[in-house]
Amino acid sequence: MIRITRRGFAALAGAAVLARKALAQNDPAPLIERAIPSSGERLPAVGLGTAQIFDSNDEQTQHAAAQVIGTLVEARGRVVDTASSYGEAESVLGKLIASAALRDKLFIATKLEEPDAAELKRSLARLETAKVDLLQLHNVRDPQQSLAQFKAWRTQGLCRYIGITSTFRGDFAAVEAVLGRERPDFVQIDYSLDDREAEKRILPLAAEVKAGVLTALPFGHGRLFRAVRGQPIPDWATGFAGSWAQFFLKYLLGDERVTAVIPGTSDPAHMADNLGAMRGALPDQEQRKRMAAFIDGL
């Protein structure tokens, strides 16, 4: 059995303090959750992405993962998204989750590059779990792609939900074809306040086929933070956003078709800030239009 180290416990405790401070500012507001359309199961609306975050299985990365995951769990977040192609991220997460007995507290999503049984077996071994909550086919490019094997794995109990992903607008046509024909439980798509193509093409179809939506790259590879560097949040947005991160995330959550946003971070303070977006008011449609116009005007 893997045992969490004393340092790991300290990291989790420190992260918990940060999370409690973040929650203390938002306690009056209920947690924003969204139902998975295919089942009705509800998920907290802010999770964690791990691309290029936990790809090295070294002591520094393990320490950061313990802090960030601890912050997520303390704030009642659940969704953690990773992939077999994210370096050592599955191993980092698997060791931490097993050591701290967090499996039942998390909704684990991972991705495979191909419907390959060996790749799935490797992912489950690295994550130290018998099944994942969501298994996704990563970066769909072929409009004729079948999800038959993923559906078989779901039937076998190796995953509870299946999905597809893409972070390339040029592949949206393939995503649309597979989403409409195969009707997976989830679609994960590149969607941010400065890249809203998914609003027109993917979200309406996802709603039609009853697929949940995870938003990858909700900060646009950092473009959004660079665009507003040195600027305060507009006065008209302070009623629903306490930071720029919350401003960007709440724009996405203002669309009820979005199930969860999954920003990536290795900083527990940033994780706590992101988690603030799943409490408090959300912008209405007129406010969302104003937010989009504000960013477009920068």
pLDDT digits (tens, 9 = 90+) for 188-215: 999 999 999 999 999 999 999 999 999 9
How confident is the model over 216-227, as pLDDT tens digits? 999 999 999 999
10, part of any domain: yes
At 2 the three-state DSSP class reads: coil
In a domain, 232, yes or no: yes
Residue 163 lies in a domain: yes
Is 298 exposed, middle or buried (CB count within 10 Å of its CB: 0-12, 13-18, 19+)? exposed
Domain containing residue 146: CATH number: 3.20.20.100
Number of domains in the chain: 1
Cα–Cα distance measured from residue 126 to residue 124, given in angstroms and rounded to the nearest whole number: 5
| Contact (Cβ atoms closer than 8 angstroms) between residue 255 and residue 199 | yes
Q: 1 lies in a domain?
A: no
pLDDT of residue 73: 97
Closest CA relative to residue 252, chosen from 221, 222, 276, 282: 282
Mean pLDDT, range 241-259, rounded to an integer: 98
Q: Amino acid identity, residue 188?
A: Q
Residues 147 and 174: their CA atoms lie apart, in Å, by 13
Q: Which stretch of DSSP H or E encloses residue 213?
A: strand 212-216
Q: Is residue 264 part of a domain?
A: yes
Contact 220, 210 (CB under 8 A): no
Confidence label for 28 from pLDDT (cuts 50, 70 and 90): low
Q: Model pTM? A: 0.91
Over residues 62-91, the pLDDT tens digits come to 999 999 999 999 999 999 999 999 999 999
Q: Is the pLDDT of residue 273 over 50?
A: yes
Residue 143: give the domain boundaries: 6-296
Give the tokens for residue 142.
């072929």
Residue 170: burial class (beta carbons within 10 Å; 0-12, 13-18, 19+): exposed
- Please state, in angstroms and rounded to a whole number, the distance separating the CA atoms of residues 207 and 283: 20
Contact 48, 80 (CB under 8 A): yes
